[in-house]
């Protein structure tokens, strides 16, 4: 509801990202490799140490696997049996005393340990978990060279206990992974334990390794990665929101929000205006001049200086509430806007803005009630129908939305966004010809506005008509550049052009140029940053991509945007970490990525 026309670039950039999420996650891996990570990691990391011993000890098991590739991730049933059944299975091992065992040869002790492992496996299968733990413990104590499976199987018992013994799972998996760092089951088990202890970063690291070893094919591990990423990002987002100072979002964002309301004349001053009354006028003038920082500080000052009329106070509350909403303080916004309506019942703009607050809180029913209330007191206010159209649009009710936009334009046909949104709703409802006609009509009626060109271009882009789309974006860019100060140009068309160029010709550097130019004009343009992050990933510039994701996190206004940006930041970082731990996997990883590209 904040943006004037809904298929905004930012939204599309995010759709692009989520549609390609898997590809992006894999591309990240490939990017790391191609970025020279191999050379760097190969020179700084130690060789895998224990691998050879383990392989020797498991020769028979290795034969079962036809794959020659090394290192080979360990596979197997829940409880692994990576050694052949001990020939002396019937041996009455439990009767042996410690002295007797100590006197046996290495070979004999190895066999006894394997028998205990077998007994452990049987006990596990019969759900006798603590008995199974005892058997595995014996196997570990007796064996001259305990196998990683002994630890991992014992960890499986701790996982299954209620409550699960996460600390013990982690200790055993640490040992199993020390013996065999490519042990997928142990990685998964330790990941589960870390997740159980809410150590999501560690869990992510283990699940990421496991999913790469599974060549991204294991659905349940992939789901674990996504699940932990979500928990991690959600937790971090809440933390950031709690601790960070509130501040205004980007110019592009604010101006899009205010553009969604028709301009109203300034309120008239009372006969003996107070200082506060005059400061409020300064705030509203600053708003008209698109000087949002001053508008905000003036309106706060007006409250300190006192406003002498209820109407003035209602106006001031409306403006302050709007800024609170823009800065992500949804509850504060609601309080101001509700107070504003108490002072001036039927104040349409406050009612309509409370509807946005309800939408942000996921309550469309209450939003619709606000529109009903607003219509009751002001049935001919064009803003109400436009904003009701926006809510209906978000809910995919395109026919009702189109009717409401049309009604809004009937009441006042000078508002360009009612026309644009009508065209977009028609397009979404599948009435392509109507939509195009509406756009052409709108361009004719608003020859000096960039927006009809921009959004027309977006629809053309959606249809794969790249050349036509870019022509429209160019026109929009030209119109924005000719805008008289103090209004800085809106840079969305620039970012759109970049995206179109990339989709059309895969011309990444031209696309980047557009985004860089957009950021020069509006350094806080989220769409440009989000697009640049993806373009960097595509080009294997992983460090730069991570940097862009971090910037995106800084710019993200709402919690969902923040969660989205954090998800990518963590996903790409965890793959960087993977290659630090497993530098020898670099080549294999790049093969996987190439095969899946
Ligand atoms: C996939 O991973 C899960 C653990 O996350 C494991 O239990 C399962 O056996 C794996 N599936 C395959 C086909 O490897
Ligand atoms: C504003 O009003 C409050 C009480 O209504 C009063 O305490 C305060 O002194 C006033 N401030 C100014 C600057 O007039
Ligand atoms: C606008 O939308 C509402 C649904 O919220 C619908 O009942 C109404 O018919 C639509 N059209 C107009 C002109 O209000
Ligand atoms: C559009 O702008 C041109 C020159 O900038 C001006 O002459 C013309 O009157 C404007 N048209 C409208 C409809 O505002």
**Using an 8 Å Cβ cutoff, are 9 and 499 in contact?**
yes
Q: Indicate the pTM of the whole model.
A: 0.67
CATH no., domain 48-243: 1.25.40.10
pLDDT range class, residue 568, cuts 50, 70, 90: confident
Residue minimizing CA distance to atom 14 of ligand 4 = 448
Look at residues 28, 43, 52, 25 and name the one whose alpha carbon lies nearest to residue 181: 52
The pLDDT of 135-162, averaged and rounded, is 94
Pocket (CB within 6 angstroms of ligand 1)? 188, 218, 220-221, 224
Among the bound ligands, name the one nearest to the CA of residue 189. 1
The residue written with tokens 């053309």 in the block is 460
Query: What is the pLDDT, as a whole number, of residue 573?
Result: 83
Is 448 near ligand 4, meaning CB less than 6 Å away?
A: yes
Query: What is the pLDDT, as a whole number, of residue 587?
Result: 75
CB-facing half-sphere around the CA of 272: CA atoms within 13 A? 0
Q: 535 versus 202: which is more confidently predicted? A: 202
Query: What is the pLDDT, as a whole number, of residue 536?
Result: 80
Q: 346 versus 212: which is more confidently predicted? A: 212
Q: Which of 30-34, 112-116, 591-595 has the highest mean pLDDT?
A: 112-116
Pocket test for ligand 1, best of 182, 212, 220 (most atoms within 8 A of CB): 220
Neighbours of 431 (CB within 10 A): 17
Residue minimizing CA distance to atom 6 of ligand 4 = 448
The pLDDT of 166-194, averaged and rounded, is 96
Which percentage of the chain shows pLDDT scores above 90? 51
Among the bound ligands, name the one nearest to the CA of residue 303. 2
Query: What is the pLDDT, as a whole number, of residue 479?
Result: 93
Q: Which CATH superfamily is domain 448-523 in?
A: Tetratricopeptide repeat domain (1.25.40.10)
Q: Which of 40-44, 107-111, 129-133 has the highest mean pLDDT?
A: 129-133
Q: 65 versus 277: which is more confidently predicted? A: 277
Pocket test for ligand 3, best of 352, 376, 397, 403 (most atoms within 8 A of CB): 403
**Using an 8 Å Cβ cutoff, are 279 and 298 in contact?**
yes
Is 447 near ligand 4, meaning CB less than 6 Å away?
A: yes
Domain ranges of the chain: 48-243, 448-523
User: Is the pLDDT confidence value at 442 over 80?
Assistant: yes
pLDDT range class, residue 275, cuts 50, 70, 90: very high
Is 305 near ligand 2, meaning CB less than 6 Å away?
A: yes
Total residue length of the chain:
597
Query: What is the pLDDT, as a whole number, of residue 207?
Result: 95
Q: 259 versus 17: which is more confidently predicted? A: 259
443 CA → ligand 4 middle, Å: 13
The pLDDT of 357-386, averaged and rounded, is 90
The pLDDT of 290-306, averaged and rounded, is 93
Residue minimizing CA distance to atom 1 of ligand 4 = 448
261 CA → ligand 3 middle, Å: 19
Q: What atom in ligand 4 is closest to the CA of residue 447? A: 13
Q: 118 versus 592: which is more confidently predicted? A: 118
The pLDDT of 484-495, averaged and rounded, is 80
340 CA → ligand 2 middle, Å: 19
The pLDDT of 377-405, averaged and rounded, is 92
The pLDDT of 209-224, averaged and rounded, is 88
Is 361 near ligand 2, meaning CB less than 6 Å away?
A: no
Q: What atom in ligand 2 is closest to the CA of residue 276? A: 13
Q: Average pLDDT of the chain? A: 81
User: Is the pLDDT confidence value at 389 over 60?
Assistant: yes
User: Is the pLDDT confidence value at 196 over 80?
Assistant: yes
Q: What share of the chain is helix, strand, coil (3-state, %, to 5)?
A: 75, 0, 25
pLDDT in tens, 102-126: 777 888 889 999 999 999 999 999 9
State the greatest distance between any 2 C-alpha atoms of the chain, in Å, as a whole number: 108
Query: What is the pLDDT, as a whole number, of residue 101?
Result: 73
Query: What is the pLDDT, as a whole number, of residue 595?
Result: 62
The C-alpha angle 129, 50, 176, rounded to 5 degrees, equals 15
pLDDT range class, residue 51, cuts 50, 70, 90: very low
User: Is the pLDDT confidence value at 480 over 60?
Assistant: yes
Residue minimizing CA distance to atom 7 of ligand 2 = 306
Pocket test for ligand 2, best of 306, 309, 313 (most atoms within 8 A of CB): 306
Query: What is the pLDDT, as a whole number, of residue 229?
Result: 92
3-state secondary structure of 557: coil
509 CA → ligand 2 middle, Å: 58
Query: What is the pLDDT, as a whole number, of residue 98?
Result: 73
For residues 381 and 295, give the distance between their C-alpha atoms in angstroms, rounded to a whole number.
Answer: 25
For residues 578 and 204, give the distance between their C-alpha atoms in angstroms, rounded to a whole number.
Answer: 10
Q: What atom in ligand 1 is closest to the CA of residue 75? A: 14
Query: What is the pLDDT, as a whole number, of residue 537?
Result: 73
Among the bound ligands, name the one nearest to the CA of residue 210. 1
Is 306 near ligand 2, meaning CB less than 6 Å away?
A: yes
Pocket test for ligand 3, best of 366, 391, 400 (most atoms within 8 A of CB): 400
For residues 393 and 517, give the distance between their C-alpha atoms in angstroms, rounded to a whole number.
Answer: 32
pLDDT in tens, 542-555: 778 888 889 988 88
* Least-confidence region, from 8-12, 449-453, 531-535, 569-573: 8-12
For residues 277 and 298, give the distance between their C-alpha atoms in angstroms, rounded to a whole number.
Answer: 11
For residues 280 and 302, give the distance between their C-alpha atoms in angstroms, rounded to a whole number.
Answer: 6
Tell me whether the CATH fold assigned to 48-243 matches the one assigned to 448-523. yes
Query: What is the pLDDT, as a whole number, of residue 91?
Result: 52
Among the bound ligands, name the one nearest to the CA of residue 484. 4
* Least-confidence region, from 27-41, 236-250, 269-283: 27-41
263 CA → ligand 4 middle, Å: 19
For residues 388 and 366, give the distance between their C-alpha atoms in angstroms, rounded to a whole number.
Answer: 12
Q: What atom in ligand 2 is closest to the CA of residue 274? A: 14
Kindly state the DSSP code that residue 531 receives in the 8-state scheme: H
For residues 596 and 587, give the distance between their C-alpha atoms in angstroms, rounded to a whole number.
Answer: 14
User: Is the pLDDT confidence value at 523 over 90?
Assistant: no
The phi, psi pair for 62, rounded to 5°, reads -60, -35
Q: 349 versus 78: which is more confidently predicted? A: 349
Query: What distances in angstroms separate CA 341 from CA 130, 257, 258, 332, 529, one per listed residue?
Result: 66, 20, 19, 14, 38
The residue written with tokens 């709402």 in the block is 558
User: Is the pLDDT confidence value at 71 over 70?
Assistant: no
Q: 234 versus 63: which is more confidently predicted? A: 234
Kindly state the helix (H) or strand (E) to which residue 130 belongs, with its residue range: helix 129-142
**Using an 8 Å Cβ cutoff, are 525 and 250 in contact?**
yes
**Token pair for residue 47?**
């060789």
**Using an 8 Å Cβ cutoff, are 470 and 457 in contact?**
yes
The pLDDT of 417-432, averaged and rounded, is 94
448 CA → ligand 4 middle, Å: 6
For residues 83 and 162, give the distance between their C-alpha atoms in angstroms, rounded to a whole number.
Answer: 29
Look at residues 249, 275, 280, 294 and name the one whose alpha carbon lies nearest to residue 526: 249
Among the bound ligands, name the one nearest to the CA of residue 390. 3
The pLDDT of 67-92, averaged and rounded, is 47
């Amino acid at each position: 509801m904040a943006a004037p026309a809904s298929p905004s670039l930012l939204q599309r950039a995010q759709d692009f990202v989520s549609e390609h999420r898997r590809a992006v996650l894999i591309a990240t891996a490939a990017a790391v490799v191609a970025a020279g990570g191999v050379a760097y990691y190969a020179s700084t990391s130690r060789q895998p140490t224990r691998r050879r011993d383990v392989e020797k000890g498991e020769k028979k098991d290795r034969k079962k696997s036809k794959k020659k590739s090394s290192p080979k991730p360990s596979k197997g049933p829940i409880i692994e049996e990576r050694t052949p059944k001990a020939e002396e299975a019937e041996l009455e091992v439990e009767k042996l005393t410690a002295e007797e065992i100590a006197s046996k040869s290495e070979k004999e002790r190895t066999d006894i340990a394997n028998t205990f492992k077998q007994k452990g496996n049987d006990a596990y299968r019969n759900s006798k978990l603590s008995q199974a733990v005892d058997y595995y413990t014996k196997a570990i104590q007796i064996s001259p060279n305990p196998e990683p499976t002994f630890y991992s199987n014992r960890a499986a018992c701790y996982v299954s206990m209620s409550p699960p013994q996460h600390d013990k799972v982690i200790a055993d998996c640490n040992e199993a992974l020390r013996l065999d760092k490519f042990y997928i089951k142990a990685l998964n088990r330790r990941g589960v334990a870390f997740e159980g202890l809410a150590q999501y970063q560690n869990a992510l690291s283990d699940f990421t390794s496991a999913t790469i070893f599974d060549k991204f094919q294991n659905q349940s591990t992939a789901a674990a990665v996504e699940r932990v990423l979500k928990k991690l990002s959600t937790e971090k987002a809440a933390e950031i929101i709690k601790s960070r100072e509130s501040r205004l979002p980007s110019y592009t964002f604010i101006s899009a929000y205010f553009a969604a309301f028709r301009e109203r004349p300034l309120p008239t001053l009372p006969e003996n205006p107070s200082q506060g009354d005059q400061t409020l006028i300064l705030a509203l003038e600053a708003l008209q001049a698109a000087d949002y920082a001053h508008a905000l500080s003036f309106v706060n000052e007006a409250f300190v200086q006192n406003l002498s009329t209820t109407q003035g106070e209602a106006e001031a509350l409306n403006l302050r509430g709007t800024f609170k909403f823009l800065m992500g303080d949804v509850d504060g916004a609601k309080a101001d806007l509700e107070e504003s309506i108490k002072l001036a019942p039927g104040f349409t703009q406050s009612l309509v803005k409370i509807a946005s607050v309800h939408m942000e809180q996921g309550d469309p029913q209450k939003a619709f009630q606000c529109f009903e209330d607003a219509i009751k007191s002001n049935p001919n206010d064009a803003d109400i129908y436009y904003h009701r159209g926006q809510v209906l649009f978000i809910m995919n009710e395109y026919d009702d939305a189109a009717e409401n936009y049309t009604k809004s334009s009937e009441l006042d046909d000078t508002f360009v966004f009612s026309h644009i949104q009508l065209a977009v709703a028609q397009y979404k409802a599948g009435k392509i010809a109507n939509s195009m006609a509406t756009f052409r009509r709108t361009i004719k009626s608003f020859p000096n506005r960039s927006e009809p060109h921009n959004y027309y271009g977006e629809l053309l882009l959606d249809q794969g008509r790249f050349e036509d789309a870019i022509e429209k974006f160019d026109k929009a860019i030209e119109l924005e550049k000719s805008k008289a100060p103090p209004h800085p140009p809106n840079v969305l068309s620039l970012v759109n052009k970049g995206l179109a160029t990339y989709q059309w010709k895969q011309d990444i550097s031209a696309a980047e140029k557009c985004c860089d130019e957009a950021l020069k004009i509006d350094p806080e343009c989220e769409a440009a940053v989000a697009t640049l992050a993806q373009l960097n990933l595509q080009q294997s510039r992983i460090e730069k991509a991570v940097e862009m994701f971090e910037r995106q996190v800084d710019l993200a206004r709402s919690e969902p945007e923040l969660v989205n940006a954090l998800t990518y930041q963590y996903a790409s970082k965890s793959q960087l970490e993977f290659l630090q731990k497993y530098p020898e996997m670099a080549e294999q990883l790049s093969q996987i990525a190439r095969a899946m590209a």
